[in-house]
Structure 1
Amino acid sequence: MNRIDRLTAILVQLQGKKIVKAQEIADRYNLSLRTVYRDVKALMEAGVPIGSEAGTGYYIVDGYHLPPVMFNRTEAAALLTGEKLMEKHSDRSNHQQFSNAMQKIRAVLRGSDKDFLESLDDNIAVLRSPRVSTEDQFPNRFLSDIQDGVARQRVLSMEYYSYHSDSVSRREIEPIGIFHMHSSWHLIGYCRLRNDYRDFRADRIKNLHLTDQQFDKSKRMSLQQYITREFKAEHEQPVLIKARFSYDVARYLREQKYYFGVVHEKNEEQYVEMHFMYQQLEYFARWLLMLGNGATVLEPESLKDITRKQIKLLSEHYSC
């Protein structure tokens, strides 16, 4: 990136937030802090009203706006890919908003770039595993209201279906954030009914209303704190696992072995030996059981014990 493009990009970044730290700029463009200071000074000398607060960061003085920036072809293509992902991995509210935004982006593109996007449109697809339709039960259109509640610190009132109890309950939630996992969006919030933090699947909300009640987010943990607490691994350090696979099984592992942290693979005469670094032995044992007698644990001994225990439980289950 040449310096003129970098200065423009930094200016766009400054307009995107109320306060931007110098380190954020340095990390985004792989610059030294010294270069950041020099670039910001150059923008100021060019007449851009940039203010700064020691220990906080830079900001654009209210009232200043950079004229609309034209998207280049690769940026527009990346946004088109994002639209395809949003169509399959978001709810109706967010998908519609993103689609509206893409229409505005297309409107400002040059003619040749519009043709470029049109040629790509039918040649990019995002597929999802088919699911049983639950449209009548769950509208799946509340993400925009949830985001509004998170940003403006407003309480959400909702009717939520619980698989565990097979019932619908009304909840008042102080939302702290959302995240996407296993093809579903999750709302994390402080539940006033349970007096604790809860995880709600957005596609299991039957009805939701954004109330006028405010809450103080400083009294609640952040989304990152919640994720760290709830998804902390069972072991602080991954465990070295050695296992042997028949060739018939090994040829079908493909990306699965990378998911489980394979670090070494050696072909022997009658089998393939693999080494993994993984944290959750219970989960690893369940995976190996799916592979039948085509997989054999070599070490650690604790994994062998867990596997034997799971086999015993299955045997007892089917002996009843």
Structure 2
Amino acid sequence: MRRADRLFQIVQILQRTKSVTTAHEMAKELEVSDRTIYRDIQDLMSNRVPIEGERGIGYMLRDGYDLPPLMFTEEEIDAIMLGIRLVESRSDPDLSRAANDVLAKIEAVMPAEKRSLLQSVRHIVPQFSTPPDIYIDMRKLRAAIRGFHKIEIRYRDTVGNETDRTIWPMLTVFFDPVQLLVGWCELRQGFRNFRIDRISSLSTLENRFPSSKKFELKAFLEQQRNVDDE
């Protein structure tokens, strides 16, 4: 590995972990010695890369640092393309279009010799079943999730009964071929899953729910995972 590539990857590791990372952990991932990482860290710091920490404790990157122009390894390009193909085949048209816009932006800033890797076919994502029709605007749903806005939905259950619900939308889950909305239901006073194809209408409310509810969701999902593992 070229030294310039290794320095770039050290910055990537520090950005990815968002916490203190030891030189030994980075050395193990990059398959070099701890001493090499210590030397590289000092070189990065001397070039004003905002890394904090010291030997024996670990290092972290201060928020707000931007990497130089995009460079990707072949493995990273494979990861990007697989993600884009999955979004294309599993999501709604707006998100699929956004994925292709991302690809176009990446392609525009990549060196010419790497662009061919974006076009070569190395991953195929087959779709064995047709996803059910979705009747709501998924852009509105995603905006509500990002902005912590409550929503009102009309929901049809498995036997066809419809109810009006006020939901605190948290996240969407892809279970081929359906998508689920996970959120806090004011009617049931608990976290619930809603099949998005069974939502016939959605309106965004001005009221917001506390972002701290996300921590309760995390605990709920962890509890569900532990139950599944038993």
TM-score bin, normalised by smaller chain? 0.7 to 0.9
Q: Which of structures 1 and 2 has the larger relative contact order (alpha carbons within 8 angstroms, sep 6+)? A: 2
Assess if the C-alpha contact under 8 Å between 1:22 and 1:37 holds in 2: no
In structure 2, distance between residues paired with 1:161 and 1:74: 43
Alignment of 1:149 with 2:144, yes or no, is yes
Letter in 1 for 2:135: P
- Give the equivalent residue in structure 2 for 1:316: none
Q: Counterpart of 2:84?
A: 83
CA distance in 1, matches of 2:114, 2:106: 11
Highest CA radius of gyration, 1 or 2?
1
Of residues 189, 208, 213 in structure 2, which corresponds to 1:214? 208
Whichever residue aligns with residue 157 of structure 1, its letter is E
Partners of 2:145 and 2:36 lie apart in 1 by 32
Q: Is the 8 A contact 2:172 2:181 kept in 1?
A: yes
1:124 deviates by 4.4
Shift of 1:61: 5.3
Task: Give the CA deviation at 1:37.
Answer: 8.1
Residue pair 1:156, 1:172 contacting (<8 A) in 2 also = yes
Q: Tell me the distance in 2 between the aligned counterparts of 1:181 and 1:213.
A: 30
The yes-or-no answer on 1:227 pairing with 2:221 is yes
1:190 is displaced (CA, Å) by 0.7
2:169·2:182 contact (CA, 8 Å) conserved in 1? yes
Aligned partner of 1:92 in structure 2 is 93
Are 2:27 and 2:37, in contact at CA under 8 Å, matched by a contact in 1? no
CA spacing shift, 1:235–1:98, aligned 2, 3 Å: closer
Query: Which residue pairs with 2:60 in the alignment?
Result: 58
Distance 1:134 1:21 in 2: 44
Distance 1:221 1:47 in 2: 35
Report the equivalent of 1:162: 157
Deviation (angstroms), 1:69: 1.9
Residue pair 1:14, 1:59 contacting (<8 A) in 2 also: yes
1:91–1:140 contact (8 Å) kept in structure 2: no
* Alpha carbons of structure 1 residues 222 and 28: separation in structure 2 relative to 1, 3 Å: farther
Preserved contact between residue 15 and residue 65 of structure 1 (Cα < 8 Å): no
**Aligned equivalents of 1:161 and 1:128: distance in 2?**
26
Root mean square deviation of aligned Cα: 3.8
**Amino acid aligned to 1:109:** M
Matches within 5 A, 1:170-249: 170-219=164-213, 221-233=215-227, 236=230
CA displacement at 1:51 relative to structure 2? 4.8
Number of aligned residue pairs: 224
Q: Confirm or deny: 8 A CA contact 1:162 1:168 kept in the other structure.
A: yes
Are 1:130 and 2:125 an aligned pair?
no
Q: Which residue of 2 aligns with 1:260?
A: none
Percent of aligned positions that are identical = 25
In structure 2, distance between residues paired with 1:36 and 1:158: 56
**Distance in 1 separating the partners of 2:228 and 2:213:** 28
Tell whether the 8 Å contact from 1:155 to 1:211 is kept in structure 2 after alignment.
Answer: yes
> Aligned in 2, Cα 1:229/1:66: closer, same or farther, shift over 3 Å?
closer
**CA–CA separation in structure 1 for the residues paired with 2:203 and 2:28:** 41
Aligned mates of 2:208, 2:149 — CA distance in 1: 5
Distance 2:188 2:63 in 1: 44
- Aligned in 2, Cα 1:35/1:124: closer, same or farther, shift over 3 Å? same
Unaligned runs of 5+ in 2: none
Aligned counterparts of 1:163 and 1:147: Cα–Cα separation in 2: 24
Q: Which amino acid aligns with 1:97?
A: A
Residue 139 (structure 1) aligns with = 135
Superposed, 1:279-294 pairs within 5 Å as none
Change (3 A) 1:213 1:12: farther
- Unaligned runs of 5+ residues in structure 1 are 237-320
Q: Using the TM superposition, give the Cα deviation of residue 232 of structure 1 relative to its aligned residue in structure 2, in angstroms.
A: 3.9
SS in 2 for 1:174: strand
Aligned-pair CA distance for 1:140:
6.2
